[in-house]
């Protein structure tokens, strides 16, 4: 595997206790959507958190833009251009939509009005609701706020942990469409997903994780065609 923009190799580790990751490797390039799917407890989210530095790994490498970042704190990785949308509690419920976006831009020293406008263009509903508390929005709108907040740093890698968990199919389709639009700006997008079929549909590349290891990988289309993947993970 040649060096990609953001990659991890042979990650081993977990939350203290027993290891969850047993040598998984994930790589992603700019202008690419990479999806990680797999059964519950396979370590999908754990792998993503390890790449972000929220979990200490015992061994393995994480490199970003050619540099080893495995020793950096999450904050430093965010400063370098990673951005993360957690699965739950991913908005500031007591802050307005606009304030959520402003906090997203906390580490930026320059003027971020333009970025806010771009996010309003991407998610027009946020512009209408900008003065409302994020906690008062619907589930789908909250996800938009969450993604918008993560985009405020103008990251080069956007990591989403199950962005469609708990939202309706229509909202999910719309969200995926937006994610494709974001990709077009040249961003690298890494998604952990339960809704494997839909996610692989929009993926340039996908990984199937089982027991913290890469079980299958390939382009989205390849995985969707793979009989074993279909039977085990996509419900036929």
Partner 1 sequence: MEYIDIINAIVLLSNFVLLPAITYGSQLALAALGVTLIYAVLRFSNFAHGDLMSFGTMATILITWWLQSIGITGGILPTALIALPFGILATIILCLFIDRSVYKFYRKQKSVPVVFMIVSVGVMFTLNALVRFIIGPNDRKFFDGEKFIIKAIEFKNLTGLDEGLAIRSTQVITIVVAIVTMVLLFWFLQKSKTGKSMRAFSNNEDLALLSGINPDRVVLYTWIIVGALATIAGVLYGLDKSFKPYTYFSLVLPMFAAAIIGGVGSPIGAIVGGYIIGFSEVMLTYAYKKFLMYILPTNLEPSGLVQFLSTDYKFAISFIILVIVLIIRPTGIFKGKTL
Query: Under the rule (CB under 8 A), what is the footprint of partner 1?
Result: 74-75, 78-79, 84, 86, 89-95, 99, 102-104, 106-107, 149, 153
Provide the minimum distance between the beta carbon of 144 and partner 1 in the complex, in angstroms, as a whole number: 15
3-state secondary structure of 199: helix
Spell out the alpha helix ranges (H) of the chain: 44-52, 74-80, 97-104, 113-122, 124-128, 139-151, 169-183, 196-202, 220-225, 227-233
3-state secondary structure labels for all residues of 212-230? CEEEEEECHHHHHHCHHHH
Provide the minimum distance between the beta carbon of 92 and partner 1 in the complex, in angstroms, as a whole number: 5
Measure the N-to-C terminal CA separation of the chain; round to a whole number of Å: 30
Name which of 59 and 75 has its Cβ closer to partner 1: 75
Provide the minimum distance between the beta carbon of 141 and partner 1 in the complex, in angstroms, as a whole number: 17
Placement of tokens 């977990």 in the chain: 14
Provide the minimum distance between the beta carbon of 118 and partner 1 in the complex, in angstroms, as a whole number: 18
Name which of 15 and 106 has its Cβ closer to partner 1: 106
Name which of 124 and 135 has its Cβ closer to partner 1: 135
Q: Do the Cβ atoms of 177 and 197 come closer than 8 Å?
A: no
């Amino acid at each position: 595997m040649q060096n990609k923009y953001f990659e991890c190799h042979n990650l081993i580790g977990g939350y203290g206790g027993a290891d969850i990751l047993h040598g998984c490797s994930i790589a992603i390039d700019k202008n690419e959507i990479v999806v990680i799917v797999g059964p519950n407890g396979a370590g999908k989210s754990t792998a993503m958190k390890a790449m972000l530095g929220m979990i200490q790994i015992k061994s393995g490498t994480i490199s970003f833009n050619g540099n080893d970042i495995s020793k950096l704190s999450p904050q430093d990785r965010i400063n370098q251009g990673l951005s993360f949308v957690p699965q739950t509690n991913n908005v500031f419920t007591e802050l307005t939509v606009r304030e959520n976006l402003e906090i997203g831009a906390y580490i930026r020293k320059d003027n971020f009005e333009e970025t806010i406008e771009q996010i309003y263009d991407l998610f027009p509903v946020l512009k209408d609701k900008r003065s409302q508390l994020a906690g008062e929005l619907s589930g789908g709108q909250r996800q938009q706020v969450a993604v918008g907040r993560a985009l405020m740093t103008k990251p080069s890698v956007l990591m989403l942990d199950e962005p469609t968990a708990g939202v309706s199919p229509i909202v999910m389709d719309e969200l995926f469409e937006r994610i494709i639009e974001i990709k077009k700006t040249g961003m690298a997008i890494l998604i952990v997903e339960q809704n494997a079929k839909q996610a692989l549909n929009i993926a340039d590349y996908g990984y199937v994780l089982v027991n913290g290891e890469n079980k299958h990988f390939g382009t989205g289309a390849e995985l969707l065609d793979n009989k074993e993947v279909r039977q085990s993970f996509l419900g036929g």
